[in-house]
Structure 1
């Protein structure tokens, strides 16, 4: 994301396209902030009030939303002053101040997107199988890569390259480095979205999801893909030659880059919040989940969870043919908080009753549970 400061050239250029893009950036930032704030609030309410949980992904999401608030605030200040600067109104801010605004906007955008990706990564690590090495390695590698490129791009935010002044004055020798670092940064963001999408597609294809869980998972992938598409358009606005003002006019180009940068951050912020929809609506459903998470309920199947002597085990059994569906040396991550040490929790196809037997074993009876990716929607 780069500024619309271009020296005296900018003040003299009153191309209507510039005013249209300024309005587009401002209105788009406001609209996406409203949407993201609603989605973020819904997620936080579902996680803290309904589920009474707050994990690393929630902390990263909180940081990302705070940074997005700063980014939108800077965007509104910039667009207000740019209207004055480009259209000869009372000018109340110096060019150097505009440059500083642009630099801070670029830095906040970078930090914001890194926080978004890390939140998404923690979300995946919390909801996928800890014993599945490739899922965890893919997620950790993607977050590490976006973090490293984010550090490099953040460092260039406070240089002369952010304003592209050297296109006019020849006083900055970092334009080429900034241009390609920015393009590489966006390409890395796309690669990260693809990596996360691959994990989700695997969950959709392999795991036995209910229709509701499958729809929510597809929505997460779709919104994440739109964030990746915004990154691609951002690259084109920065680097790709084309015979139109979208690329050739430096002021329009910078406004276009900023617009798609805001879209990219907003969509990445909203995507993991989609999973909270089911938890958010749980208090209004007829049959709330007694364990405090939303599982993938099947009509056939039962699960026995054990945690004793410091060891945790999980066995999922199909009642269709009596065979074991999944037997692993751990309780799925979203069940761990619900299984007390030394207590056997038995899940049976029955009603929603809770009772204690003579041995002190807690029995929770509710529709059969099959371990699947739908646990992410707790």
Structure 2
């Protein structure tokens, strides 16, 4: 059985990544592609690397007939998704890739994003889309909120350790580097090649990065007490990839054992042998996340390293993983491609 899907925001990086992944998915058919600013154009004009595919012409969202659509991916900008999704049919399954439905508390959303939520009832309905930890809820959901790519990487490192009680919850430092595609496709002066190349920089230091809202929400709920990580993101002159380094107070062998046990049956999470560290080049273009654990020279201190592709496992691949569950398709379908190397 083939399910018809629509992608809203198909002219962005995550929209194009969805097309790339779904193109060889045996159970999904791309029935509609929307990109209001590029409406009327062929996808090949916007993304020449997809010219070999037979795809619908880009249209505006208003031009799509959702009557025959089984599931819709919303790869739209933050604040736009909530307004668009509010107007979509109430029986339509939706996977949202924006930040609009990630936070359950309307007050928390307003605090982190600076404006009241336009669809608080939908916000209450949405299921957080970190697949490995919300499978049952996602399978039964109508609306799934994809995680932030930084937030996903940090959670893959830390959630099993919080659950197992093997680290000090008041001593967690997360240092993260992300490729420039994580900032989206819109033209921004600080993302010009001359501004970005041959260096990298920290941004949103202290308490300003919005993915902190996801860490606070998820880690606090998991621990049953307030957990606030120290988090610094960096923008690196690479197209894809996230490398997160975590510093925790806990025994390396116990930390490694907790991660290995938590992810033993997971098809996309690979815990490396104790002492090995991953690289973004080993997960590029894939839905895999590699995790390494290394003992620090100080006794009782451990270094964690996680690597994933921000556009795949951190966004569009995760979205497809969730859609598979929502449509009762094998979770790994369309996602087992090997990473691109070198």
Structure with higher Rg: it is: 1
Higher helix share: 1
> Greater RCO between the two (CA within 8 Å, min separation 6)?
1
Does the TM-score normalized on the shorter chain lie above 0.5?
no
> Normalising by structure 2, what TM-score?
0.27
Higher strand share: 2
